[in-house]
Amino acid sequence: MTTLRDVAREAGVSVATASRAINGHSNVTAPTKAAVLAAVKKLNFVPHSGARSLTRRKTDTVGVILPDLFGEFFSEIIRGIDLVAHESGMHLLLGNMHGSTHETAAAIAAMRGRVDGLLVMPPDVKPELLSGYLDPALPTVLLNYDAGSLDLPFVAVDNYHGAYAMTEALLARGAKQVVHIAGPKHNRDARDRQRGFADAMAKIAKVQSPAILPGDFSEESGAQAARLLVQGRLPADAVFAANDQMAVGLIAELAASGMSVPGDILVAGFDDIPLARHLNPSLTTMQVNIDRLGSTAMMMLLRILRGETLAAASATILTPTLVARGTTGGAAGSAVAAKAPVLGAHG
């Protein structure tokens, strides 16, 4: 393997001079820099990123810590982050907290000294605990987490109003008995979506205790909810799943039970993962533009790394858009504003 010493020998300069030339220092003459770069090219030398980071005190790497790395939702977030990071010459170091508070602390600790900044999505971690895990000197942007007490910048989705709008739309479509499949109990997104559903049912349908089935954002929990609906004969003419993944599992299990969507029951989800538009019938959902969640957070972190001071007041709240598709009898792909109640006619 070619070393910096080999490059220096080829260029006829000291190792220190070769290092300064490669790292773009101004105290190197143009002819010397040209000789060093020619030697780099000739010897196919690749600078050691760790050694360079010690010199420059930069790693050109951003840490990304998510509750999970599996599934279309998280892959879309990573895609959005990477799109912006790549254009800026930054690399990503991924960490997985597996939904555990303990592993969140370990994942954050593992990033120290290895990244220039941090993007964290800690939906189940209390602000006071998260504060103890984070390094105040490390630029950090939170994803889908409003922790104003930490005064950190964040990017989040308006889950409450998105869920309210979807429930309102199902009721306007003619549904009388809407069932909600909730997400994990300790997940902030899930709680806000359940609250939006419950408030819409109370205010519009005058139902104070609507039917809510347990779920955990997985396809299997959606399938389990379908079995509870069918076997328990729970009255329902519409189901609003707290995410698309559960809606997918629900639809598959309903079909296996001989029920037609949307003929026998309307189904809606939340997030608009890529699979949602490819189902048959395609899934009515709240479109979050998941990759935008990631790209917006990455752009915010780059601003901090370039010297701007950002805090909670700099937060970006993304408003989801209701997209009416086949599972509610709406026109495939028709989008309406989040507050609009109508999904479309049967067709």
Give the H/E segment covering residue 221: helix 219-231
Percent of the chain with pLDDT over 70: 90
The domain limits of the chain are: 4-47, 56-156+291-313, 159-289+320-337
* pLDDT for position 99: 67
- Mean pLDDT value across the chain: 87
pTM of the model: 0.75
Q: How many Å apart are CA 92 and CA 85, to the nearest integer?
A: 8
Place of tokens 């810590």: 65
- 272: tokens are 């608009």
Give the H/E segment covering residue 298: helix 290-305
Fold match, 56-156+291-313 / 159-289+320-337: yes
CATH homologous superfamily for 4-47?
lambda repressor-like DNA-binding domains (1.10.260.40)
* pLDDT for position 57: 62
* Residues shown for the chain: 347
Q: Are 161 and 324 in contact (CB under 8 A)?
A: no
Fold topology of 56-156+291-313: Rossmann fold (3.40.50)
* 258-292: burial string, b at 16+ Cβ within 10 Å, e else: eeebbeebbbbbbbbbeebbebebbbbbbbbbbbb
Give the H/E segment covering residue 188: helix 188-204
Please state which CATH number belongs to domain 159-289+320-337.
3.40.50.2300
* pLDDT for position 269: 98
Which pLDDT tens digit goes with each residue over 230-279? 987 788 999 999 999 999 999 999 999 999 999 999 999 999 999 999 99
Rounded to a whole number, what is the distance in angstroms from the first to the last CA of the chain? Answer: 66
* pLDDT for position 128: 82
* pLDDT for position 346: 29
pLDDT less than 50: residues of the chain: 54-56, 332-347
